Protein backbone atom coordinates (compact mmCIF):
# COMPACT_ATOMS: atom_id res chain seq x y z
CA UNK A 1 0.00 0.00 0.00
CA UNK A 2 1.07 3.56 -0.52
CA UNK A 3 2.18 6.26 1.90
CA UNK A 4 -1.35 7.70 2.15
CA UNK A 5 -3.84 6.37 4.68
CA UNK A 6 -6.95 7.58 2.84
CA UNK A 7 -8.13 9.94 0.13
CA UNK A 8 -8.49 12.65 2.79
CA UNK A 9 -4.89 12.07 3.81
CA UNK A 10 -3.86 12.26 0.13
CA UNK A 11 -5.62 15.63 -0.29
CA UNK A 12 -4.09 17.02 2.90
CA UNK A 13 -0.55 15.98 1.94
CA UNK A 14 -1.00 17.31 -1.60
CA UNK A 15 -2.27 20.62 -0.19
CA UNK A 16 0.75 20.83 2.15
CA UNK A 17 3.23 20.06 -0.64
CA UNK A 18 1.60 22.49 -3.06
CA UNK A 19 2.02 25.44 -0.68
CA UNK A 20 5.82 25.10 -0.76
CA UNK A 21 7.34 27.73 -3.03
CA UNK A 22 9.65 25.27 -4.80
CA UNK A 23 6.95 22.67 -5.57
CA UNK A 24 4.40 22.64 -8.40
CA UNK A 25 1.64 20.25 -9.43
CA UNK A 26 1.46 19.45 -13.14
CA UNK A 27 -1.91 18.47 -14.65
CA UNK A 28 -3.22 17.91 -18.16
CA UNK A 29 -6.26 20.16 -18.43
CA UNK A 30 -8.24 23.05 -17.03
CA UNK A 31 -10.86 20.74 -15.45
CA UNK A 32 -8.06 19.07 -13.49
CA UNK A 33 -6.98 22.51 -12.27
CA UNK A 34 -10.55 23.34 -11.22
CA UNK A 35 -10.90 20.09 -9.29
CA UNK A 36 -7.60 20.55 -7.44
CA UNK A 37 -8.38 24.21 -6.73
CA UNK A 38 -11.54 23.04 -4.97
CA UNK A 39 -9.27 21.08 -2.62
CA UNK A 40 -7.10 24.14 -1.96
CA UNK A 41 -4.17 22.88 -4.04
CA UNK A 42 -1.76 25.66 -5.08
CA UNK A 43 0.99 26.06 -7.72
CA UNK A 44 -0.90 24.04 -10.35
CA UNK A 45 0.48 24.19 -13.88
CA UNK A 46 -1.80 23.13 -16.75
CA UNK A 47 -0.15 21.50 -19.75
CA UNK A 48 -3.03 21.88 -22.20
CA UNK A 49 -2.38 24.37 -24.97
CA UNK A 50 1.34 24.70 -24.22
CA UNK A 51 4.34 23.00 -25.73
CA UNK A 52 6.07 20.32 -23.63
CA UNK A 53 9.38 22.12 -23.59
CA UNK A 54 7.85 25.48 -22.66
CA UNK A 55 6.21 23.88 -19.64
CA UNK A 56 9.36 21.93 -18.74
CA UNK A 57 11.41 25.13 -18.99
CA UNK A 58 8.99 27.00 -16.72
CA UNK A 59 9.22 24.20 -14.16
CA UNK A 60 13.01 24.00 -14.35
CA UNK A 61 13.35 27.76 -13.86
CA UNK A 62 10.96 28.02 -10.91
CA UNK A 63 10.67 24.71 -9.05
CA UNK A 64 12.95 22.03 -7.63
CA UNK A 65 10.15 19.45 -7.32
CA UNK A 66 7.14 18.63 -9.47
CA UNK A 67 4.17 16.43 -8.58
CA UNK A 68 2.82 14.99 -11.82
CA UNK A 69 -0.91 14.29 -11.79
CA UNK A 70 -1.67 13.32 -15.37
CA UNK A 71 -4.63 11.05 -16.05
CA UNK A 72 -4.03 7.35 -15.49
CA UNK A 73 -4.59 6.30 -19.08
CA UNK A 74 -2.20 5.30 -21.84
CA UNK A 75 -1.73 8.90 -22.99
CA UNK A 76 -1.13 10.11 -19.42
CA UNK A 77 1.40 7.35 -18.77
CA UNK A 78 3.30 8.23 -21.93
CA UNK A 79 3.44 11.92 -21.00
CA UNK A 80 4.57 11.12 -17.45
CA UNK A 81 7.55 9.21 -18.83
CA UNK A 82 8.49 12.06 -21.18
CA UNK A 83 8.29 14.74 -18.49
CA UNK A 84 10.00 12.57 -15.90
CA UNK A 85 12.95 12.05 -18.24
CA UNK A 86 13.30 15.73 -19.19
CA UNK A 87 12.95 17.06 -15.64
CA UNK A 88 15.06 14.46 -13.85
CA UNK A 89 17.85 14.92 -16.40
CA UNK A 90 17.95 18.57 -15.31
CA UNK A 91 17.98 17.70 -11.60
CA UNK A 92 14.33 18.37 -10.77
CA UNK A 93 12.68 15.90 -8.38
CA UNK A 94 9.64 14.20 -9.89
CA UNK A 95 7.04 12.91 -7.41
CA UNK A 96 4.66 10.28 -8.79
CA UNK A 97 3.43 8.99 -5.41
CA UNK A 98 0.22 11.05 -5.52
CA UNK A 99 -0.59 9.68 -8.98
CA UNK A 100 0.29 6.12 -7.92
CA UNK A 101 -2.17 6.33 -5.02
CA UNK A 102 -5.00 7.09 -7.45
CA UNK A 103 -4.40 3.70 -9.11
CA UNK A 104 -5.38 2.09 -5.79
CA UNK A 105 -8.62 4.12 -5.88
CA UNK A 106 -9.28 3.18 -9.53
CA UNK A 107 -9.47 6.87 -10.47
CA UNK A 108 -8.47 7.33 -14.09
CA UNK A 109 -9.04 11.05 -14.58
CA UNK A 110 -8.04 13.81 -12.19
CA UNK A 111 -11.19 15.81 -12.99
CA UNK A 112 -13.26 12.84 -11.74
CA UNK A 113 -11.76 12.76 -8.23
CA UNK A 114 -14.38 12.50 -5.49
Q: Is the pLDDT of residue 20 over 50?
A: yes
Predicted TM-score (pTM) above 0.75: yes
Q: Is the pLDDT of residue 57 over 60?
A: yes
DSSP string, 41-103: --SEEE-TTS-HHHHHHHHHHH-SEEEE---SSHHHHHHHHHHHHHHHHTT-EEE-HHHHHHH
For the segment 79-101, what is each residue's pLDDT rounded down to a tens digit? 999 999 999 999 999 999 999 99
**φ, ψ dihedrals at 65, nearest 5°:** -145, 140
Length of the chain: 114
More confident residue, 104 or 36: 36
Return mean pLDDT, the chain.
94
Amino acid sequence: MSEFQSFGDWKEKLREESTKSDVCVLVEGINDLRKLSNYGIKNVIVLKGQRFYDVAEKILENYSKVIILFDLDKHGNKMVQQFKKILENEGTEVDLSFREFLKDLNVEEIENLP
